C-alpha cells in the first residue's frame, strides 16, 4: 500500500534511471491505467514518444515526470494500492500485471506493473508548478513549503473525525490508512476524535506525528510487508517491523501493554490501543 514514504522511495529509484533520457517507444498493454486519459491511448503514446524526461517530482502520493519536446509537459502516475514501477532491459518480463511499458533511449525499459489496477498514468498539462491532475492535492509534510500551522487550522475547521481528516488529501497529502493509524497512536488520539474539538496544539501534534512516522519509514526504505510493494529494482522495503498498531490486532501495545484493537472504519480497518487512545467525549 504505497503512501508517501513508499512513493518517495520509488521517486528516488526512478530519478537516476529516467532523468535526461528520451522515450523511444510506449506500449500500452492494458486499457485500465489509461482510463483518465480522455484523449485516448493513441494520444498518450504519441505525446510520450520522443519526449525527454527532465525531472521526477512528487506531491503526496502523486508522482510525475516533467517532459520536454512534447505537447504534454507531464507524465503523472498514481500507484493506487498495488502499482509499481520496475526497471530492466527489453529482455525482462514483469509478469501478468504489466500494464504500460516505456522504452528509453539508452536501452532501459521502465514498466508500470499493477495487480489491482487502482493505479493510473496520464499525459497531462501543467497548472503553475504542478500537473493539472495534482492541482487539488495539498502540500505534504515533506514539502519545504508545507504549512503545519495552516494545515492544523484547516483541520480544526472541519466537522469530521481526525482520522478522516488525516486521510483527506486536499487537507494534507501523503497519509494513507497505515500512517494515519501510526500517527494517531503516537499522538495518543482516538481516530474518531472530533476535529472541531481539537486544541491547536493537539491538531499540530497529530500532524507532526504523521510527519515523524513517515520520515522514519522513508529512512527505512518504505513500509512493506506486502509483496505488491517493491522498489524499482524489485527489492522489498522493511519498515513493517516498526509499526506500532497497524496490523497488530490482539498484540500488546508497546506503551501500555493493552491488546491492540481492530475496528471497522469507512469500509476498511482502524487499529488503535484502547488504553492510549480511548474514545473522547466528542467523537465523529
Q: Judged by CB, which is closer to DNA: 21, or 186?
A: 186
Q: Note whether 139 binds DNA by CB under 7 A.
A: no
Say which DSSP state 9 is in.
H
The secondary structure element, H or E, covering residue 26 is strand 23-28
Q: How far is CA 10 from CA 98, 166, 188, in A?
A: 17, 22, 31
Q: Note whether 268 binds DNA by CB under 7 A.
A: yes
**Contact (CB, 8 A) for 138 and 172:** yes
Q: Note whether 78 binds DNA by CB under 7 A.
A: yes
Q: Note whether 127 binds DNA by CB under 7 A.
A: no
Q: Note whether 84 binds DNA by CB under 7 A.
A: no
- Point out which span in 8-16, 45-53, 231-239, 267-275 binds DNA (CB under 7 A): 267-275
- The catalytic residues are 2-3, 61, 268
Q: Note whether 214 binds DNA by CB under 7 A.
A: no
CA of residue 239 relative to chain centroid, distance: 15
Query: How far apart are the two ends of the chain, measured CA to CA in Å?
Result: 26
Tell the residue number behind the cell numbers 502523486, with chain if given: 62
Q: Note whether 190 binds DNA by CB under 7 A.
A: no
CA of residue 138 relative to chain centroid, distance: 13
Which ranges constitute the DSSP H helices of 158-224? 162-167, 177-186, 200-219
Q: How far is CA 80 from CA 14, 20, 170, 234, in A?
A: 17, 27, 17, 18
Binding mask 97-116 for DNA (x = CB under 7 A): x-----------------xx
Q: Note whether 54 binds DNA by CB under 7 A.
A: no
Say which DSSP state 101 is in.
E
Exactly one of 108, 261, 262, 280 binds DNA (CB under 7 A); which one?
262
Q: Note whether 61 binds DNA by CB under 7 A.
A: yes
Exactly one of 161, 191, 222, 237 binds DNA (CB under 7 A); which one?
161
- Point out which span in 11-19, 205-213, 217-225, 262-270 binds DNA (CB under 7 A): 262-270
The C-alpha atoms of residue 250 and residue 131 are separated, in whole angstroms, by 43
Q: What angle do CA 72, 101, 126 make, to 5 degrees?
A: 20
- Point out which span in 8-16, 60-68, 103-111, 231-239 binds DNA (CB under 7 A): 60-68
Q: How far is the CB of 189 from DNA (least distance, A)?
A: 16
The C-alpha atoms of residue 271 and residue 264 are separated, in whole angstroms, by 9
Q: How far is the CB of 260 from DNA (least distance, A)?
A: 13
Footprint on this chain of DNA (rule: CB under 7 A): 1, 3, 32, 60-62, 78, 80-81, 96-97, 115-118, 133, 136, 157-161, 164, 167, 169, 176-178, 262, 266-269, 284
Amino acid at each position: 500500500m504505497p503512501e508517501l514514504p513508499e512513493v518517495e522511495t520509488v521517486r528516488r529509484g526512478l530519478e537516476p534511471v529516467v532523468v535526461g533520457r528520451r522515450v523511444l517507444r510506449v506500449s500500452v498493454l492494458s486499457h485500465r491505467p489509461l482510463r483518465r486519459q480522455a484523449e485516448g491511448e493513441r494520444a498518450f503514446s504519441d505525446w510520450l514518444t520522443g519526449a525527454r524526461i527532465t525531472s521526477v517530482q512528487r506531491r503526496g502520493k502523486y508522482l510525475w515526470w516533467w517532459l520536454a519536446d512534447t505537447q504534454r509537459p507531464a507524465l503523472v502516475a498514481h500507484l493506487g494500492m498495488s502499482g509499481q514501477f520496475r526497471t530492466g532491459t527489453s529482455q525482462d518480463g514483469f509478469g501478468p500485471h504489466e500494464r504500460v511499458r516505456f522504452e528509453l533511449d539508452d536501452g532501459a525499459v521502465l514498466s508500470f506493473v499493477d495487480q489491482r489496477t487502482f493505479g493510473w498514468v496520464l499525459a497531462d498539462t501543467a497548472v503553475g508548478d504542478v500537473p493539472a491532475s495534482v492541482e487539488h492535492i495539498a502540500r505534504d509534510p515533506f514539502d519545504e513549503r508545507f504549512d503545519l500551522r495552516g494545515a492544523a487550522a484547516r483541520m480544526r475547521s472541519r466537522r469530521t473525525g481526525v482520522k478522516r481528516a488525516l486521510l483527506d488529501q486536499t487537507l494534507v497529502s501523503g497519509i494513507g490508512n497505515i500512517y494515519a493509524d501510526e500517527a494517531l497512536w503516537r499522538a495518543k488520539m482516538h481516530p474518531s476524535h472530533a476535529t472541531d474539538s481539537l486544541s491547536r496544539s493537539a491538531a499540530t501534534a497529530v500532524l507532526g506525528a504523521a510527519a515523524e512516522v513517515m520520515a522514519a519509514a522513508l529512512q527505512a526504505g518504505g513500509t512493506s510487508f506486502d509483496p505488491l510493494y517493491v522498489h524499482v529494482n524489485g527489492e522489498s522495503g522493511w519498515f513493517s517491523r516498526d509499526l506500532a498498531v497497524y496490523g497488530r490486532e490482539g498484540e500488546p501495545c508497546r506503551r501500555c501493554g493493552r491488546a491492540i484493537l481492530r475496528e471497522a472504519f469507512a469500509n476498511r480497518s482502524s487499529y488503535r490501543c484502547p488504553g492510549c487512545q480511548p474514545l473522547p467525549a466528542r467523537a465523529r
